[in-house]
Structure 1
Amino acid sequence: MWHFPFHPQAHGNNLKYLSLVTLTLQNAILGLSMRYGRTRPGDLFLSSTAVVMAELVKLATSLCLVYLEEGKNLGRLQAALHQTIVKQPLDTLKICVPSMLYIIQNNLLYVSASHLDAATYQVTYQLKILTTAVFAVLILRRRLLPTQWAALVFLVVGVASVQLAQTGEDAGTAATRQQAMPAGDGPEQNRLLGFSAALGACFLSGLAGIYFEKMLKGADISIWMRNIQLSLLSLPFGLLTCAVNDGAQLAARGFFFGYDAFVVYLVVLQAVGGLIVAVVVKYADNILKGFATSLAIIISCVASIYLFDFSLSLQFTVGAGLVIGSIFLYGYDPAKGVKPGGARTGGKSLAEAEERLLAEKV
């Protein structure tokens, strides 16, 4: 086992802030890289295969980390895997819940994107920030201040404004194309179905995230072992998605069609993001994760000004200001003197007390 020469609470706080900063940077880099991957010349790879490969990389990395935790002893690694996965089948099956929820969520997002314009889709999906907070209150019994609820609303509005600024031109182009189409061409759209699917995806996103957070914080199992369980159960679902959605193309072109060094880089970056998310959920929480990923959108958009000729609009500026302001508002409590991140001046933080209460309940 690893030993650290400093206080565990300080170590946890260091990991909390370090993981949040790392997740923000990783998401920003991933967004820019994926945009370049879509626009560069050459054969396009199948995204469903990249998801499967990212899970494999995440599984292999988690196995290596558990191997290090067990003192670089293969026998102890095998014993730990057998004890955690084979001898505790019910605990392992619990991981099926977030895996299945994420699969259903992804399918609902596909339905929503097929029946809504890009702007409506982006704005509606930002409600996942609020559903995550609601489930944190209901499931984890987390208490949020009125200023924190206001910050979450500002965050939703800000992210939606930024996303609208990004998709406005694409939406206008799509509308022009649709007007030029003869009547009856193109798939029939059902806005009510699309909106309902988007709301369902937001609901499942919040539920799955908070459920996984409770599993990480409510049991004495390392986050890397949890990642192994999650990957082992996610891989069959990912392969099934490949077969259902891209079976014909896989049969004709092969699993690794369009792969090159850049795609391998994308796969590794995506896998690293999954591992960072687990650390964030373990040492911070899903709500702070939402702030980190929202800030990453701002960073990637600003970088796009120089890399992809993205136009900086008033709408984007206002949205970015709301996102940044909401981050400070969420961590500020004028009545009790709470600093950003939940550290109370002159006492224990409320977040730490709630985490201990959760561990005792579970």
Structure 2
Amino acid sequence: MIVIENVGSSETCPPLSKRWLRSARWVVLLVLLVFIYGSHAPLIALTKIDGHIPFSSSSCVVLIEFSKLLISLSTLLGTGNAHTLRTSVSWTAVAPYAVPALLYSFNNNLVVFMQAYMDPSSFQVLSNLKIVSTALLYTSCLGKRLRTVQWLGLGFLMGAGVCHSYSSLDLDNPDGGEDKLSSRVHITAWGLLMVLAYCFISGLAAVYTERVLKSQRLPLSLQNMFLYIFGVGINLASHFYSSSAEQAFLEGYSSVVWLIIAGQAANGLLMSVVMKHGTGITRLFVISSAMLVNSVLSWGLLGLQLTPFFLLPVLMIGVAVFLYYK
């Protein structure tokens, strides 16, 4: 969030106007991020045929990373910072970006692997623990201090996530039988251990990325290039390792899939702006607020029913924002 300082004299009006303009830009950026995050799951649901996505999810991730790499390169050239490629490219500058790329790739695969040890609903509820892990790593690794009221705000934020996740649980299946058994909420000890590891790695990747972006005096577009070079390489290797030889790279792609790719590429680039010039805590508020957009779009596009219980997480997120940023 941008804090607007009080200004007393008329000579300082231009700086005040610039601050308001900067604040307005931040608001637009954050609103756009919330909408992109919230629209991701409903768009994927629209691509499904007979309950299954017709395209390779790993190839989609490769194209998202490649799109971000191309946009970062274009931005670097368009802003006249191409000379930094010659002066800044070294192993000491590039190597740190391999760490978040590996962490994000590991977590993406862990989400799929842990489905055998817990049901998706339990994961949805417990994954809100990444708010706590990110905040703890943020204070310990970056040396930031949070006030008591800010911790309380993060508590409300996590509570909003749990309430929202709980409201979507399908604990009662009227059809009964095998379907009810397969949708039963369950979690094993290995599942609990893996979801805790997932939350820790998620927070670690976010905090580490923020530290690297802020510690280097390099254009953000160049830093993004370093990150996405590793992202393309790691995800491309993962795609060839896990994909079936019978499915072509672009098989099953539709206009909605390309919209997903464009949205997620924009999401990654905009989030890097938040991590560079804001904080990882702001990222948590974006993700939590996106849950509400997800629900509204699912109601409008997929016909899912919203209950009055939906208003509780809305209120809790509002309280969380007020407590943390007041």
Corresponding residue for 1:331? 325
> Which segments of 5 or more consecutive residues in structure 2 lack a partner in the other structure?
1-13
Residue in structure 2 matching 1:109, options 92, 108, 111: 111
Deviation at 1:24, TM superposition (A): 1.1
Question: Between Structure 1 and Structure 2, how many residues are aligned?
Answer: 308
Q: Distance in 2 between matches of 1:262 and 1:170?
A: 31
Corresponding residue for 2:79? 69
**Contact persistence 1:111–1:197 (CA under 8 A):** no
Q: Distance in 2 between matches of 1:89 and 1:61?
A: 23
Amino acid at match of 1:24: V
Residue in structure 1 matching 2:259, options 262, 265, 283: 265
Q: Structure 1 232/173 Cα, relative in aligned 2: closer, same or farther at 3 Å?
A: farther
Give secondary structure in 2 for the equivalent of 1:53.
helix
Q: Structure 1 45/201 Cα, relative in aligned 2: closer, same or farther at 3 Å?
A: same
Deviation at 1:317, TM superposition (A): 2.5
| 1:80 counterpart = 2:74 | no
Structure-to-structure mapping, 1:150-229, within 5 angstroms:
150-166=152-168, 168-169=169-170, 172=173, 176-177=177-178, 191-229=188-226
| 1:287 counterpart = 2:297 | no
Deviation at 1:311, TM superposition (A): 1.6
Deviation at 1:170, TM superposition (A): 8.0
**Contact persistence 2:156–2:320 (CA under 8 A):** yes
Residue in structure 1 matching 2:270, options 257, 265, 276: 276
**Contact persistence 1:118–1:171 (CA under 8 A):** no
Q: Structure 1 271/118 Cα, relative in aligned 2: closer, same or farther at 3 Å?
A: same
Deviation at 1:169, TM superposition (A): 2.5
Q: Structure 1 196/19 Cα, relative in aligned 2: closer, same or farther at 3 Å?
A: same
Q: Distance in 2 between matches of 1:28 and 1:16?
A: 18
Corresponding residue for 1:305? 299
Q: Structure 1 235/176 Cα, relative in aligned 2: closer, same or farther at 3 Å?
A: farther
Deviation by residue 1:313-336 (Cα, 9 ceiling, x = unmatched):
24333223212221222112xxxx
Q: Distance in 1 between matches of 2:102 and 2:174?
A: 35
Q: Distance in 1 between matches of 2:293 and 2:59?
A: 28
Amino acid at match of 2:207: I
TM-score by structure 1 length? 0.78
**Contact persistence 1:117–1:171 (CA under 8 A):** no
TM-score by structure 2 length? 0.86
Give secondary structure in 2 for the equivalent of 1:258.
coil
Residue in structure 1 matching 2:136, options 125, 131, 134: 134
Deviation at 1:233, TM superposition (A): 0.7
> Which segments of 5 or more consecutive residues in structure 1 lack a partner in the other structure?
1-5, 71-75, 182-188, 333-362
Q: Structure 1 148/40 Cα, relative in aligned 2: closer, same or farther at 3 Å?
A: farther
Corresponding residue for 1:347? none
Deviation at 1:42, TM superposition (A): 9.2
Structure-to-structure mapping, 1:242-253, within 5 angstroms:
242-246=239-243, 249=244, 251-253=245-247
Deviation at 1:41, TM superposition (A): 8.8
Q: Distance in 2 between matches of 1:317 and 1:49?
A: 37
Q: Distance in 1 between matches of 2:263 and 2:165?
A: 23
Q: Distance in 1 between matches of 2:35 and 2:276?
A: 19
Q: Distance in 1 between matches of 2:142 and 2:130?
A: 17
Deviation at 1:43, TM superposition (A): 6.7
Q: Distance in 2 between matches of 1:298 and 1:24?
A: 9
Deviation at 1:180, TM superposition (A): 5.9
Q: Structure 1 177/321 Cα, relative in aligned 2: closer, same or farther at 3 Å?
A: farther
**Contact persistence 1:49–1:242 (CA under 8 A):** yes
Q: Structure 1 142/112 Cα, relative in aligned 2: closer, same or farther at 3 Å?
A: same
Give secondary structure in 2 for the equivalent of 1:127.
helix
Q: Structure 1 179/252 Cα, relative in aligned 2: closer, same or farther at 3 Å?
A: same
Q: Distance in 1 between matches of 2:159 and 2:55?
A: 34
Of structures 1 and 2, the one scoring higher in RCO (CA 8 A, sep 6+) is 2
Q: Distance in 2 between matches of 1:278 and 1:302?
A: 26
**Contact persistence 1:98–1:211 (CA under 8 A):** yes
| 1:231 counterpart = 2:264 | no
Corresponding residue for 1:95? 97
Amino acid at match of 1:322: M
Over aligned residue pairs, what C-alpha RMSD do you find? 2.6
Q: Structure 1 170/214 Cα, relative in aligned 2: closer, same or farther at 3 Å?
A: same
**Contact persistence 2:122–2:187 (CA under 8 A):** no
Give secondary structure in 1 for the equivalent of 2:48.
helix
**Contact persistence 1:140–1:214 (CA under 8 A):** yes
Deviation at 1:15, TM superposition (A): 4.3
Q: Structure 1 57/110 Cα, relative in aligned 2: closer, same or farther at 3 Å?
A: same
Could you tell me the percent identity over the aligned residues?
Answer: 25
**Contact persistence 1:16–1:283 (CA under 8 A):** no
